[in-house]
Structure 1
Amino acid sequence: MNSQAIGVFDSGVGGISTLKKLSQLLPNERFIFYGDSLHAPYGDKTPVEVYKLSKAIIEYFITKNVKAVVIACNTATSAAKERLVTECPQLPIIGIEPALKEAIDNEEHNILVMGTKLTMTLPKYQKMVSNYGHTHNIYSVACPGLAEYVESGMTDQRLLAELLDKFLSEYQTKKIESIVLGCTHYPFLENDIRNYFSGKLQFHNGYEGVANHLKNLLQKKNQLTPANVQGKVIFSGSKQEELPYYQQLFDSLT
């Protein structure tokens, strides 16, 4: 198992930002990334639909004999991870969630959380807001259309400006200290979001926590690769024509 690959998946290209962090922390590991761009975005689907799509990808990874899976999608983590872990006890499955706790731990009190409609409405996120909402100002903003914009190639700056105005204009006058990017597509727009606001902002995406969790898990199970050469990243997905775009985005990240 030590030399087997690690599976990483997302509803589309967003999880590539998570994949980059994983490959940087575990440079000798091999990764298989699956992007489900044919069915993107997951954030506008029902929990049952997201579970079925996620389960199909898990079954694909099982055929590839992966040693662990990272759900690099906030929506799929919220809607499907718990059930998938129960159904696949032999396979370690790690998910990513909106990094609200990260902002809280950083002693930020005016926090804007951007995510998909489904992520924002599911009980797990609502419980987090309930736990911290009495001591912090937490603004939850569903942003339908932003993930699709990233999927489409991010070339229409006018459309992006319209979307940011639609979702964020009312928060420009609030004393926002930090922004939680609660969808793995959104970090590709971090500079645009940062420039939309005046003043210094902290951004949180949760990647480092997921990467460290994966590393610790593999260490505990004695499943870190013994290889001392650069590991490979293999791209796959439900739309084969999108794979060059996946590689392009991965290579563009530092």
Structure 2
Amino acid sequence: MNNLQLEQILNEKLSPQLIKDYAPNGLQVEGTQTIKKIVTGVTASQALIGRAIELNADALLVHHGYFWKGEPEPIRGMKGNRIRSLIKSDINLFGYHLPLDIHAELGNNAELARLLDIQVEGGMEGHPQSVAMYGRLKTPLSGAEFASKINTALNRQPLHIAPESEDKLIETVGWCTGGGQDYIELAVKLGLDAFISGEISERTTYTAREMGVHYFAAGHHATERYGVKALGEWLAKEHGLDVEFVDIDNPV
């Protein structure tokens, strides 16, 4: 497959043109025109690039790519090393950020709901492009039971901040993968029993305690493995491409 044809397929699936983002979505670093082998992963780190080179990949497809708004523009240091490695090996870099968070079928939020048996009911912001979702557990659980379920699903023990009434069962849940901790107050306004994000801030602890909601910090990396993995699996199934997901360990 041609690299620009692959970009067109991804753009048609994810519709990045409809979303205002913090980085360009699509082909970020151009490599060989012919795509036979694709490696997918969460972040285009040097370690992931190294694995892509070892696997003779023609393309690297990630959730966290390059050229973020506000970052220094010169291609030097760590940034220079990464891009130089891609160019030397003729590897295309494709990055999709918010479009991969919110996609209703393959997105990070959708995949997290699937893993945790949450029935999706809508976007917390009240529109289809909301980066925070809400839904309902198929079976109400205690805070400890839900923390255990998250641990089993993601292979990562979440940080659980419980409300004063720790015996409060969880039935309704809001969530935003990655750095979505500041949606916790909106979750409370919507009357949800619990909120999940990847990252936690110092202030999030007090918000959860004082506003009476279960909060779970499940890891930025751990909550965002599954969208890009699902996207790669879709490419393999629908377009017959050789796709391999590589998980570079990240405890954050």
| TM-score, reference length from structure 1 | 0.34
Answer 1 or 2: which has greater helix percent: 1
- Whichever of the two has the greater Rg, that structure is 2
Structure scoring higher RCO (CA < 8 A, sep ≥ 6) equals 1
